[in-house]
Structure 1
């Protein structure tokens, strides 16, 4: 996130370490090993995993401690989460409106780092965090109760054909603003983006009720999809259980627009790596067209290419009788979620640790008055990865490889329920080719700076 990095004071180190020169092996060998790991994993799956283990299975798992279940199921916990969300939102509004018009304003770090990257990591560990604390959900519920209406119902039923398409548009609006807009670190621009987001969410909630947030809030949809890789779930009786992330992942609803969502997330992360590459820097420096225009075109190409390649690979798989090929991409799309999480870890880990810590220090003095209201003003990033670039490079490779291997497992399990028996090996080859291309291309982009 170069835009987010600049917005938090120019901490370029977030993306400036852990390059291919720091790999303990050559980049070519790393890519070859990653591809080999993916192919070997597929071979083992074909031989040893011949029946679907997750699709169509009831939501079961190991029951957690009863006190923990009672705690997270209580009204007090839900209200506390809502209050926390409102407090964080109120603080963010305060620093956005009354804070200094300077890059040291913590608003930039909250927006680009805590909200975007931190939400992903929190959702992977804790479950659908944004759904629990979403201030727009809370505001919508308060407005509905004052008006004497039901916040779940709204004025109109949600059109199922829209699926996740509104969320895909919202996610693209965010990554466009961060990666391709000309002024992503101007305070007024970020405030305007947030105002449009809040306005759209409140209007959508008033018209369609809470169903709108499940489908149309880009941050809730993103958080909920990543949460499918968390170990937490509810069984059929509503009890909190610990469950395999792969089992959770298989419950992802294949709604319209799901391919567009994963295409935006995966493609934009890949473009964020590409825009830091030596090739791209030299290209736009020598071009007669402005960098902003080139970034806009390249971002769109990356997003369309990521979603299009996956859709093509999925549509080329054979389908069971009565299932249209155009429906296949969204039935396999859940398998891209582990890849997205892997790339977020690989690409944004240092940004979150270093710039996130820097933001915590600045948040203690929100208005530049020399305050220390949180007691964190003296906290400074350790830049540990700056001094251990080989460790970071290794983490990057492992995150990408593990993400692709988990994706291969999820896709294979789904394929066993969708493919005719005679095609359950060869029918998956088109998907395997796409994932091999994603693995090799992703690693090369990640270390291209």
Structure 2
């Protein structure tokens, strides 16, 4: 038994991955010795902080260098792929309104919440900016400009733009977390269709830069793309350690920095709001959950409070680091400089959060694509895919699932700490001052590791 527990500790400390907490409808409780995994995960993050003491400055900076692979040429392919993506979206909206009412049989629900929100977003964070090719606004806007000669009517308000993205993403998270039926195909189709029309109008009014600075979904995807292995560098395709794109990017504006933190805050609360702890805080018996309609305003308030608390604690950690290191940098600039280091954590939580639902709903998605109108068709030649949840029934498979999620959380935090240290070395020019300035932020990240791993195994009643 001692050997097996030691093996579990080592597995969590060394397992590569990314992470978060639960999924859309997760009532799955991990009856495992989670204190071992939690302690081991936090210990591995703390060990990373300790090892940074001995990491030379040149190596810290060199870790996030990139190797240029090929030169990229401009062409019309992006317009074509974007138009195809738009046509796919139109079909999904159509089938959402006219197809099966069962969310587990309608491609609209399964594609948006399983294929795109979970699968595509994770691939974006691992590989790079795939959204660049499938953004459903780029192609139609380019065609309108070419055919009708439409030009932007108003200049984009650059300082306001990222704050509009913050508000947009909070609204998106609010719909996902607090709406009475975000998985209802017709309801989701109307929301997606209206959102596409509103953003398309904004692109025509303010120009393509709207998508780069103010549109929440595109900005969310661009942030995750910066974590990926591949990216653009001097008009070429380059590759490097995950996070090199964050290290290479200019210092973000305050609004964009807050947006990066909101990605983590929304993901964390999406895991917290279904736990027994949260329901008990609201005075609700988790075993007699009254339904989503009973907690709409409570969840919206909790979402806003969670994000405000995260931004405040992060700012406090940055301020303490500046105070004890006497780095001579303003809080305003330091907040912006180190905000990108939060994104590996957000991406890690995103994967772990939805991992179990993806294992199940991905099977339903295959069935829905094979028979989108539930008429008995076999378009992909797959027959009827038998949906199984058998991997939740054995200790070994559950252990593997939890280790994958926990490893994801830990690796996200480890990468964040290394990236924050490299940013500090570049900003302050001294490894010693960088270490001192990052001490409070490192403590914050270690504590957040404990929180994230607890969230993975917390029982849920909603």
What's the TM-score once normalised by structure 1's chain length?
Answer: 0.85
3-state secondary structure, aligned to 1:48: coil
Give the 3 Å change call, closer, same or farther, for CA 158–76 of structure 1 in structure 2. closer
Q: 1:134, CA displacement in angstroms? A: 1.1
C-alpha separation in 2, matches of 1:187 and 1:60: 43
Point out where structure 1 has 5 or more consecutive residues left out of the alignment.
6-11
C-alpha separation in 2, matches of 1:350 and 1:181: 22
1:247 to 244, 247, 269: 244
Q: 1:321, CA displacement in angstroms? A: 7.2
1:181 to 179, 182, 191: 179
Give the 3 Å change call, closer, same or farther, for CA 125–444 of structure 1 in structure 2. closer
Aligned residues: 426
3-state secondary structure, aligned to 2:238: strand
Give the 3 Å change call, closer, same or farther, for CA 296–76 of structure 1 in structure 2. closer
Give the 3 Å change call, closer, same or farther, for CA 224–275 of structure 1 in structure 2. same
Residues 351 and 408, structure 2, Cα contact 8 Å, conserved in 1? yes
Are positions 1:411 and 2:415 aligned together?
Answer: no
Give the 3 Å change call, closer, same or farther, for CA 258–403 of structure 1 in structure 2. same
C-alpha separation in 2, matches of 1:160 and 1:407: 28
3-state secondary structure, aligned to 1:425: helix
Q: How does 1:203-242 map to 2 (within 5 A)?
A: 203-236=201-234, 238-242=235-239
C-alpha separation in 2, matches of 1:202 and 1:83: 13
Residues 21 and 353, structure 2, Cα contact 8 Å, conserved in 1? no
C-alpha separation in 1, matches of 2:60 and 2:275: 41
Residues 229 and 240, structure 2, Cα contact 8 Å, conserved in 1? yes
1:298 to 284, 296, 302: 302
Give the 3 Å change call, closer, same or farther, for CA 323–427 of structure 1 in structure 2. closer
When the two chains are superposed, the root-mean-square deviation of aligned CA atoms in Å is 2.9
Moved more, 387-396 or 157-166: 157-166
C-alpha separation in 2, matches of 1:272 and 1:229: 21
Residues 273 and 448, structure 1, Cα contact 8 Å, conserved in 2? no
Give the 3 Å change call, closer, same or farther, for CA 306–2 of structure 1 in structure 2. closer
Aligned to 2:9: none
Q: How does 1:257-336 map to 2 (within 5 A)?
A: 257-284=255-282, 286=284, 290-318=294-322, 323-336=329-342
Q: 1:199, CA displacement in angstroms? A: 2.2
Give the 3 Å change call, closer, same or farther, for CA 20–101 of structure 1 in structure 2. closer
Give the 3 Å change call, closer, same or farther, for CA 83–395 of structure 1 in structure 2. same
3-state secondary structure, aligned to 1:63: strand
What's the TM-score once normalised by structure 2's chain length?
Answer: 0.83
Q: RCO (CA 8 Å, sep 6+): is it higher in 1 or 2?
A: 2
Residues 168 and 264, structure 1, Cα contact 8 Å, conserved in 2? yes
Moved more, 282-291 or 160-169: 282-291
3-state secondary structure, aligned to 1:242: strand
1:357 to 363, 368, 378: 363
C-alpha separation in 2, matches of 1:3 and 1:351: 8
C-alpha separation in 1, matches of 2:123 and 2:97: 27
Residues 262 and 307, structure 1, Cα contact 8 Å, conserved in 2? no
